[in-house]
Structure 1
Amino acid sequence: MLRRLLRLLPTLLLIPAVAAAEAPKPLLWKVSDGDNAVYLLGSFHLLQPTDYPLAESTDAAFADAERVVFEISPEEANSPALSIGFQQAALREDGKRLEDTLPPALWQRLQAHVVARGGNPAVLQNYDAWAVGLTLSLTEMQRLGLDPSHGLDRHFMQRAATAGKPTGGLETAAQQVALFEEMTPEQQIAALEDALGEAAELRERIAQMHALWRAGDADGLAAATLDELRRDHPQLYARMNRDRNQAWLPVVQAMLDDSDTDDTLLVVGSMHLLGDDGLVELLRARGYRVERL
C-alpha cells in the first residue's frame, strides 16, 4: 500500500542507507491461552536493507506459526485495485483547491516545505490533505534511505508465499481506503499538520522512530508517537489507532479461543501493539498469557 501511495505525488531523491551493526531487537510478544498462540510482531512499514537479517526470535516465531496475518491480506496488498482505490480517494471531488481548504498559515508552511525540496506546490492543489500529509511522511522516510519494498510486512508476505503458509488480513483494502477517504476536514488538517512539522524536525523524528524500532524500545516508541498524537490530535488518534485496535481485538481473540486454530504470526504496525490501547495490553487485560520475546 505504502509503495503505491508514493506514486501519487512527486517524490524526492533517496539518500544512501547507513549500515546497521546488529539485528534489530524485535517488538515481539507471544500471547497464548493454553492450546495455541498468537505472535504479535510490530512492523515498520519502510526499512533499509541493513535492517536484515532479523533477530533469531523473530525467525523462530515465523517458523512456529502455521499462518501469517497482516493488516490486509497479501492478495489485496498486491492487487492493482488497492492502488486505484487510493488514487481515486486522494483526488479532490468538491471542486475546491487544497489551498482553499487549509488554514492560511498551514498552506504557507506546506508551500515552503515543498519549494525547499525543489517541488511545485501547484501539483498538490487537486489532492486531499490526508494524501498530501501521508506522501510528505513517506517521502521523508525515503530520504532517510527507508524503502517500502524492504518493509517488515512485505518481507513476511514474501516469506509466507515461499514457505506456502496460509495468510490473511484484519481489514479489507476497501476499509483501508475508507480509513483515509472518510476523514473529516478537521482530521485531515490534523494529519497534515502532524506530518509536516518543521523540515529538520520531521526528518529527525522519523530517524528517531526508526532507531527506537531497531532498539525494540516499546516505551520510547510509544512516547514518540502515540502520546503526542493522543495529546495533540485525539480524534485522529482514535480513528487511526484506538478504534482499529478495538475492531481487531475480537478477531485476535477468536484466533486464540478456537482450539482448532493453528498458531498465528500477526504482523501489524508497531503503534497498534503499544500503550494502554494497544493489542498487547488489551489481550493481557482479558486474561491471556502475554510474554515479551
Structure 2
Amino acid sequence: MALLLTLSSTAGAGQLPVYRVLSEGGTPSYLVGTMHSEDPRVLARLAHLTPLIEKVDTVVIEMVPDAVALLAVAAATLLPVDQNLRGVVGEAGYWALRDAAEERGIPEAVLNRLKPWAAAVTLGMPPAKTGRFLDMEIYLAAQQRGRPVVGLETPAEQLALFDDMPTALALALLDDTVKNAAQQPKQLEELTEAYLQGDPDLLYRTARAQYAKMPPALVQWYTGQVIEQRNARMLERLAPRLAAEAVLVAVGAMHLGGDTGLVAGLEQLGYRVEPWSEMSVR
C-alpha cells in the first residue's frame, strides 16, 4: 500500500504521462502525472517538461514543498511525547517492526516515535538517498525560470488523510506493509515501468491489481480518501485557474486515470484533453 503513495517498448524508452488541455480560443495548458521517486529513469523525464514550464504562466503542484510545509509534515509523523509506537502496537507486533526497521537502517529510537501510519509509509517506501524526487525537481525548475508555483492542497489537508484514519485502520496498514515487505521491490519496479510507459490508465490498472490483494477496508480507504476525494478537490480548485491562465499541472499519476481521474473530470468540464509528446510541440 505505501508504495502506491508514490503516485503514481521498455521502461527506459518510455515517456511521461503528459496531456495538453485545450479550451475554445484559450492558450494550451498541460497536465503531468508524476511519481514520487528518486529513480534516475523517472528524474530523467524532467528534460521533457522544462520546455513546457517555459510556455506557461504558472506551475500548479499538489503541495508546495517549501521549508514550512516539510517541517509540518515531519512534525505530524510523531506520536505525542507521552506515547510510543511500542505501546500502540503491543509487544508482539513491535518486534517484527523493529526487525523490519533495522533492515532498512532506521534507528529504533526513531521508529518508536512514529505514528502507525508514518511507520507504515517509512517502511513501505524505498530509502531516501538524495531527497530529489520528480515533484521537487519540477518545483525547483519552475522557480529557476521565474514561474509562480501554487499548491492544490495544504500540508494540513494532506496530513489529515492519515491523521484522521481510525487507529485500527492505521495498524492494519502497518501490518500489511510489514507482511509484504519482501514483495515491495518487485511491486515498485512494476509501478515504475508502468509509469514510464506514459499511460495513466496502464498505471491505474497496475496499481489496482496490487492493492486489490489488500484487506478490503484498506482498499476502500485508499480508493475513496486518497484518490477519489482528492481528485474532486483538485478539480474544483484547478478549474478557475485553468480558465484564467496557462498552467502546467503536475500531480501524482494515479490522479489522472480512471472514471474519477482528472483527465475525465476536465473533459466533463468541456476541455479537450489530448496526449502530448515532444512531437506535438508547435
CA drift at 1:264:
0.5
Match of 2:234 in 1: 248
Deviation string 1:237-274 (CA, Å, 9 cap, x unpaired) is 32212111111111122123x3xx22110011111112
CA drift at 1:117:
4.2
TM-score by length of 2: 0.79
TM-score by length of 1: 0.76
CA drift at 1:205:
0.9
Query: Are residues 52 and 122 of structure 1, via their aligned partners in 2, closer, same or farther at CA, if it must alter by over 3 Å?
Result: closer
1:239 correspondence with 2:199:
no
- Give me the whole-angstrom Cα distance separating, in 2, the residues matched to 1:61 and 1:285: 24
- Give me the whole-angstrom Cα distance separating, in 2, the residues matched to 1:51 and 1:126: 32
Native 8 Å contact 1:29 1:292 kept in 2: yes
Equivalent position SS for 1:126: coil
Match of 2:280 in 1: none
The residue identity in structure 2 corresponding to 1:155 is E
Match of 1:4 in 2: none
Native 8 Å contact 1:32 1:289 kept in 2: yes
Native 8 Å contact 2:54 2:145 kept in 1: no
Tell me whether 179-188 or 273-282 shows the greater mean CA deviation. Answer: 179-188
Match of 2:251 in 1: 268
Tell me whether 171-180 or 119-128 shows the greater mean CA deviation. Answer: 119-128
Alignment of 1:1-293 (within 5 A): 22=12, 24-34=14-24, 35-54=26-45, 58-73=49-64, 77-79=65-67, 81-93=68-80, 95-102=82-89, 107=94, 109-117=96-104, 121=108, 123-138=110-125, 140-142=126-128, 147-149=130-132, 151-226=133-208, 228-229=210-211, 232=216, 233=218, 234-256=220-242, 258=243, 261-293=244-276
Deviation string 1:38-58 (CA, Å, 9 cap, x unpaired) is 311011122234545438753
Query: Are residues 243 and 114 of structure 1, via their aligned partners in 2, closer, same or farther at CA, if it must alter by over 3 Å?
Result: same
Deviation string 1:44-99 (CA, Å, 9 cap, x unpaired) is 122234545438753443232221011113xxx122x3233223322222844424
The residue identity in structure 2 corresponding to 1:211 is E
Tell me whether 231-240 or 242-251 shows the greater mean CA deviation. Answer: 231-240
- Give me the whole-angstrom Cα distance separating, in 2, the residues matched to 1:212 and 1:69: 24
Cα RMSD of the aligned pairs, angstroms, is: 2.9
User: How many residues are aligned here?
Assistant: 262
Q: Percent identity?
A: 27
User: Structure 2 stretches of 5 or more lacking a match?
Assistant: 1-9, 277-282
- Give me the whole-angstrom Cα distance separating, in 1, the residues matched to 2:130 and 2:205: 24
